[in-house]
Amino acid sequence: MREKHLTQSAGSVDAASERSSFADAVGYYLSLQPRQLPSRYFYDALGSALFEAICRLPWYPVTRAETRLPECHARAILSHLDPLSTVIELGSGSGGKLGLLIALGRRSPNPLTVHLVDVSPTALAAASDALSRLEATTVVTHALRYEEGMAQIASRPRTSCRNVVLFLGSNIGNFDRPGAAAFLRAIGSSMAEGDGLLVGTDLVKSERDLLLAYDDPLGVTAAFNRNLLVRINRELDGDFDLDAFAHRALWNGAESRVEMHLVCTRPQQVTIPASGLDFTMPDGESIWTESSYKYRPEGVAAMLEHAGFLVVAQWIDGGFALTLASRSA
């Protein structure tokens, strides 16, 4: 039997205001010392495709670990959330992990509404396509940043059944520690008592393995990183000399994070008219493009409890942790 496919698109930012906020952010962050760019801008159509390729690399274990966890524990995870009516996934990417969780873990085919919040329209299209094939499932997409998406979802009427918020793929790793704590609190404030939060975190492991994951021998991560400059050149009329930037990944043990940088290897003048920028970059100066924080299992639990959650269960596999918490009273 063929099921009904239900998908709606609830919100997105229009292209002109998207471009102008990108231009402003680039102007602001590239003027800081050290120069920076926010990692959320990696995900244009090409960047999203490169990220999907990263997820298939043998050196990037995050996605495989996080696919195995719901494969093994989907029933256990969802049994804590019965009766579930609404799933909200922040940073859904292509939606594969959520699809597995629902397909394997759902006991009764009660109608389920799935809200997907992601800045990448390409990723949302793939995810809603995959998820709307599930039985009795309505998919609503929000092409917005996490906070805006959460606010839009919270403004809708809710049922008395349970909601669960999924924050998988180690997406929380892009926040620094205080930022992650504040973000979890903000999510908690839009949840009702008994609602669930499932968080995926990459764990601290050997420096060698961490660096291989972020500086792979095929150069896919390097392309993903440099694509940010490609995007600035294309969308904001920038003139970065792409050949003159080297990809660098490093482990910052004191901060417990992998950092990605783009190091200038030939002195150059950079102009980005849409951002009001005109500056020189000497040989060796770098642009810091991403931080990916790594956790210890007990650190995740402490952070959640501190943000007003009760930890229900934690599953660990392949250097990765999935932690289920519920909103405390």
Burial (Cβ within 10 Å: 0-12, 13-18, ≥19) of residue 209: exposed
Edge to edge, what strands does the sheet with 6-12 contain? 6-12, 137-143, 112-117, 84-90, 162-167, 196-202, 320-327, 309-317
Q: How far apart are CA 162 and CA 187, in angstroms?
A: 15
Q: Which residue is nearest to ligand AVJ (CB)?
A: 292
Region of 3-11, 152-160, 167-175, 279-287 interacting with ligand AVJ (CB under 6 A): 167-175
Region of 4-12, 14-22, 149-157, 164-172 interacting with ligand AVJ (CB under 6 A): 164-172
Map residues 22-61 to x or -, x wherever contact with ligand AVJ holds by CB under 6 A: --------------------------------x-------
Decide: 196 and 80 in contact? Cβ < 8 Å. yes
The owner of tokens 């003027």 is 31
- Which string of b and e fits 26-61 if b means at least 16 CB within 10 Å? beebbeeeebbbebebbbbebbbbbbbbbbebebbb
Looking at 138, 141, 170, 323, which residue binds ligand AVJ (CB under 6 A)?
Answer: 170
CB of 169 to ligand AVJ, least distance (A): 5
Half-sphere exposure of 115 toward its Cβ, with a 13 Å CA cutoff?
A: 26
Beta bridge partners of 292: 258
Pick 249 or 277: Cβ nearer ligand AVJ: 249
CB of 282 to ligand AVJ, least distance (A): 26
CB of 43 to ligand AVJ, least distance (A): 9
Helix (H, G, I), strand (E, B), or coil: what is residue 283? coil
Pick 42 or 112: Cβ nearer ligand AVJ: 42
Q: Which positions from 241 through 300 interact with ligand AVJ, judged by CB under 6 A?
A: 290, 292
Q: Tell me if 95 contacts ligand AVJ by CB under 6 A.
A: no
CB of 209 to ligand AVJ, least distance (A): 13
Type of residue at 84: L
Q: Which positions from 183 through 222 interact with ligand AVJ, judged by CB under 6 A?
A: 214, 221
Q: Tell me if 120 contacts ligand AVJ by CB under 6 A.
A: no
Judged by the rule CB under 6 A, the positions of this chain that interact with ligand AVJ are 54, 62, 169-171, 173-174, 214, 221, 290, 292
